[in-house]
Structure 1
Amino acid sequence: MTDISQELHVINVGLEGFYTELQEQNVPTVQVDWRPPAGGDVALIDKLARLQTPEVEEANAKTISRIRDSRPMWIDVQPALAAIPGMEGNALLHSGPPIDFGDMCDPQQRAVEAAAIFEGWAVDREGLLAKLRSGDIRLRPNYAYGSVGAMCGVISPSMQVIVTENAPYGNRSWSTFNEGKGNVIWMGTYDKGTIERLRWMRDVLAPSLRAALRTRNEGLDIFKIIAEGTLMGDEVHARSAACTLLLLRELTPMLLNAGVKRDVITRIVEFISQNNHSFLSLTLTACKTACDAAHGIPHSTVVTAMSRNGVNFALRVGGMKDDWFIAPTAPMDEAIYYSGYGPDDAAGDIGDSAIVETAGLGGMIIGAAPSISSFVGGSMGHSRQAMAAMRSICAGDNPAFAPGAVDFTPAPLGIDIRKVVRLGFTPIIDTGVLHKASGVGQIGTGIARAPMAAFIKALRAMPLPA
């Protein structure tokens, strides 16, 4: 029996109230933060235990290996209709899971309207609605075609898309180019200048870049640029400044060698350099090809896609074929807002760009970008803590991306639905914030949280190894 007259040294597990009381009585106490796994849900705890098998671990290792072995190459620029297999001539693709026009968030509705005007299918909202009702215009999610789009993510048949091929596996992905500054479809806002810029991208930018890429037999190695950019302060989702400059270093001599006119080259360089997010479209296609190559391994509990449309969030798991698990997007209450705006003004989290985090970049390596440490508290210490949290829900890492700002620690890779549900927190996604109604476009930036409900749905549906 313990002699309680001796000095007590207490370890308190769980409820902090006991710790506080003991501290007030000058009792040496250590607080251990603990919560029951899976929120104490007995069925989920049982499922987690039954998924702790060698078959699952081996499948997850294969999934991670395929992402790590991927080598996405930018090989071409083409009209979307010609490039994307199965795309219909009257289709408008959009970010996130399937959704009817009337249920879309306001920015995505505006983006669809702008795309219809660009295609010459409508001149206003009324004309668009009439053609949607008649079936003359159809809405389709990007993820059904292997394409990806940032923010509103709208792709129309005549828009020019980046064509990226994953060299070891042969699969491809497609995305539109960043539209530059001003009113842009990405952000759900447009004017006459928006449509004129899209026409310039179709008629001048795309043919010039296509010619430049013809000067390279293999194309342009996207992950190679990303690896260098993460050593220069980019996490390649919220910040791509270094990668954009590295892209220009590659593209400029290619344009010259292709015989593109000097005044056109000047315009292209100005267009790309004026927006630090110009490289993001390449990142999206690269991450998409890598994650698609890793999809379809039986028993894998690693997430191979995440996507949002401002209303709903969807994820896909490597071992469950083409099933998607959908839940409402989380509120944008952790973002940093421009003056005069706040969470009540925000549309829901939006964009296919969460594929960046799926591939182990963006929020997963937020410490790579000291300039955005304010997203998670304001210091590099906070950024390191955020990365450590992300590492705890991943099945592995990727030494190819090892940011110097965090002591060259390999990027966390392979979001594991088992670990997410067991530990009770979800991936952070670096993102922009759009106004929910006014059409002003972006009103903030920061992080969003993937909704736990989607991960729980996926875990419940996950087949058990035989």
Structure 2
Amino acid sequence: MTLADLLSAPPAVVAAGVDVFSDALRAQGATVADVEWRPPAFGDAADLAALALDPRRAAANRTAVERLMAAGSQLVDVRPAREVLDLPDRTLLHSGPPLTWETASGPMRGALLGAVLFEEWAPTVEDAEQLLASGAVTLDPCHHHRTVGPMAGVTSPSMWMWCLSDPVFGGRAYCNLNEGLGKVLRMGAYDDEVLTRLRWMRDVLGPVLREAVRSMAEPLDVKAVLAQMLQMGDEGHNRNRAGSLMTLRELSPAIVAVDAPSSDIARVLAFIGGNEHFYLNLGMPTAKLALDAARGIPGSTMLTVMSRNGTEFGIQTAGTGDRWFTGPAQTPVGLFLGDYGPEDANPDIGDSAIMETYGVGGFAMAAAPAIVRFVGGTVPDALATTERMYQLTLAENPAMAIPIMGFRGSPTGIDVLQVARTGWLPQINTGMAGRVAGTGQVGAGLVQPPQECFEQALRALAEEARTA
């Protein structure tokens, strides 16, 4: 058959995948034959059977999801990390599973160096590197301290933290303040511009926010802001414009009433208003609160953590507590800033995949079709991604409704068993840090966890089921 033969008659299409593709073609008059096909499942058959037949699983997952969706999130304070996390001196927190200086990637090393210089533990970059290489600075994951941090996630004792509380289950979660975009510490940059901004955040921004938050008549309902964001074109991970503006609206009256120089107040308001990702560092601990509420439920196959440190990707589940299952972090595919290209991008990094673990971010891309202009892809891709994620999850969260999908709740509660059965991996949209320390952000894109994480979790959950 020649190309001319193909074009001489209306096309007949065989479609395998989500219905959105078939529906779009039929709307254009094409003949479509749908084929039931999925990627092959993975995992040992005996392990899959052990989980599928575990009599605890249905009730345990129902409990996990119910706790996740019931959890609330209120902004109750802003305080330095050394106070709320009881951080000893010479301790730095970082994103993802545990790592060492030797295994740290370029942007992680850059952020750690910057934090050492910021804390004045060393006078020069060379001295800071020697200090970190000697093991004199303790490195520990944010997740081990009820904390999350975007990208490198490096948190030092002098950094100010959002302090969030769950009024339903009593949990607490924390996150540092967002620096903005571009050349920032969380992307591995540590030059004078970065350090000057961090010092201003320590000396001015943090204290002003503390006084403002403490003076508010009612705590800010951060979960409600997240729910409203999805109605306004945000997805809660790489697009936070509406959420940041709503947060500014809620905090502004209290900020302007703070007893501080008018120049400081003006700069604080300008900084927040010019930072489209200001809300992200509130959304992440909101998700952390919800997922921590679902920890420690024997028999549950639901994820409670997805996180990356730039070298490894790690996950945790409700049924296995604080145990990490890890694999090599993948490099995102997407769009690049300026002259940067794929060779400049570091493998995936950051605790911000807690948003996808909660059911927003890449799982709710249909709520924010404009996000594809930032991370690559098309609007149909965004819709199809959300449709696919429903196949990996246990429930739909009615509080996180997606307008374009008829206000259907976002896909919530990633199920290790469903991931293994379908062979599909969770979708994450993310920023990209430069591979070389000190570079900063080079782009944004899409990425998935390595399959190895889920294979390990599947085996562990199956072993636990057999011995229960």
Whether TM exceeds 0.5 here: the answer is: yes
Whole-Å Cα distance in 1 between the matches of residues 251 and 327 of structure 2?
41
Residue type of the alignment partner of 2:347: G
Q: Answer with 33-42 or 368-377: which moved more.
A: 33-42
- Aligned-partner SS, 1:294: coil
Read off the aligned partner of 2:410 and give its amino acid letter.
A
1:53-452 → structure 2 map (5 Å cutoff): 53=55, 55-85=56-86, 87-332=87-332, 334-374=333-373, 375=375, 377-379=377-379, 381-437=380-436, 439-452=438-451
Q: Give 1:173 shift.
A: 1.3
CA contact (8 A) 1:183 1:189 kept: yes
1:136-186 Cα shifts (integer Å, max 9, x gaps): 321111111111110011001111111111111111111111112452101
Going from structure 1 to structure 2, the CA distance change for 1:35 and 1:249 (only over 3 Å counts) comes to closer
- 1:6-29 per-residue CA deviation (whole Å, 9 max, x = no partner) reads xxxxxx999xxxxxxxxxxxxx99
Q: Which has the higher contact order (CA 8 A, sep 6+)?
A: 2
User: Amino acid of the residue matched to residue 85 of structure 2?
Assistant: I
SS in 1 for 2:381: helix
Deviations 1:100-143 (A, max 9, x none): 11211101101100100010001233312332354432111111
1:269-288 C-alpha deviation (Å, 9 max, x unpaired): 11011121111100111111
Contact 1:165 1:289 (8 Å CA) reproduced: yes
Q: Which amino acid aligns with 1:46?
A: A
Spell out, residue by residue over 1:202-224, the C-alpha distance to the aligned partner (whole angstroms, 9 max, x if none).
Answer: 11111111111112254211011
Inter-partner Cα distance in structure 1 for 2:134 and 2:318? 37
**1:49: which partner in 2?**
52
Write the distance in 2 (CA, Å) between the matches of 1:361 and 1:219: 23
Q: Which amino acid aligns with 1:429?
A: I
For residue 439 of structure 1, report the CA deviation from its aligned partner. Answer: 3.0
What root-mean-square deviation, in Å, do the aligned CA atoms of Structure 1 and Structure 2 show?
Answer: 2.1
- Aligned AA (1:291): L
For residues 168 and 15 of structure 2, the distance between their equivalents in structure 1, rounded to whole angstroms, comes to: 49
**Are the aligned partners of 1:311 and 1:329 in contact in 2 as well (CA < 8 Å)?**
yes
SS in 1 for 2:411: strand
1:377 Cα shift? 3.0
Distance 1:36 1:400, change over 3 A: closer
Displacement of 1:46 after TM fit? 3.0
- Taking only the aligned residue pairs, the percentage that are identical comes to 39
Name the CA shift for 1:191/1:331 in 2 (closer, same or farther; >3 Å).
Answer: closer
Displacement after TM superposition at 1:434 (Å): 1.3
> 1:395-431 CA deviation, whole Å, 9 max, x = no partner?
0111001122333111110000000011001111110
Checking the alignment, whether the CA contact within 8 Å between 1:370 and 1:405 is kept in structure 2 is: no
In the alignment, the residues of structure 2 paired with residue 390 and residue 408 of structure 1 have an alpha-carbon distance, to the nearest angstrom, of 16
Asked if structure 2 preserves the Cα contact closer than 8 Å seen for 1:233 and 1:405, the reply is: no
For 1:32, the equivalent position in structure 2 comes to 35
Structure 1 residues 396 and 198: alpha-carbon distance in aligned structure 2, compared to 1, 3 A threshold: same
Cα distance, 1:137–1:389 mapped onto 2, change above 3 Å: same
SS at match of 1:38: coil
2:60–2:300: 8 Å Cα contact kept in structure 1?
Answer: yes
SS in structure 2 of the partner of residue 120 of structure 1: coil
Q: Secondary structure of 2:308's partner? A: strand
What's the secondary structure of 1:399's corresponding residue?
A: strand
Deviation digits for residues 22-67 of structure 1 (CA, Å, limit 9, x no counterpart): xxxxxx994624357524843444344334x4x2111111111111
Check the 8 A contact 1:325/1:457 in 2, yes or no: yes
In the alignment, the residues of structure 1 paired with residue 399 and residue 427 of structure 2 have an alpha-carbon distance, to the nearest angstrom, of 21
The structure-2 alpha-carbon separation of the partners of 1:135 and 1:100, relative to structure 1 and needing over 3 Å to count, comes to: closer
SS at match of 2:352: helix
What SS class does the counterpart of residue 407 from structure 2 fall into?
A: coil
Distance in 2 (CA, whole Å) between partners of 1:349 and 1:405 is 29
Q: Per the alignment, do residues 50 and 119 of structure 1 end up closer, same or farther by CA in structure 2, a change over 3 Å counting?
A: same
Distance in 2 between the 1:256 and 1:305 partners? 37
Q: Deviations over 1:352-403 (max 9, x none)?
A: 1111111111011011112113546312x32221101111100011100112
Whole-angstrom distance in 1 between the partners of 2:393 and 2:220: 29
Contact 2:48 2:458 in 1 (8 A): no
Quote the residue 2:4 is aligned against.
Answer: none
Distance 1:191 1:132, change over 3 A: closer
Q: Structure 2 regions of 5+ residues with no counterpart?
A: 1-13, 17-30
Does structure 1 conserve the Cα–Cα contact (< 8 Å) formed by 2:65 and 2:413? yes
Paired residue secondary structure (1:402): strand
**In 2, Cα distance between the equivalents of 1:398 and 1:213?**
29
Match of 1:7? none
Q: Summarize deviations over 1:334-367 as a string: whole Å, max 9, x none.
A: 3222343332321110001111111111011011
Whole-angstrom CA distance in 2 between matches of 1:247 and 1:133 = 40
**Secondary structure of 1:400's match?**
strand
Runs of 5+ consecutive residues of structure 1 not aligned to the other structure: 1-11, 15-27
Question: 2:164, 2:172 within 8 Å by CA — same for their partners in 1?
Answer: yes
Classify the secondary structure of the residue corresponding to 1:353. Answer: coil
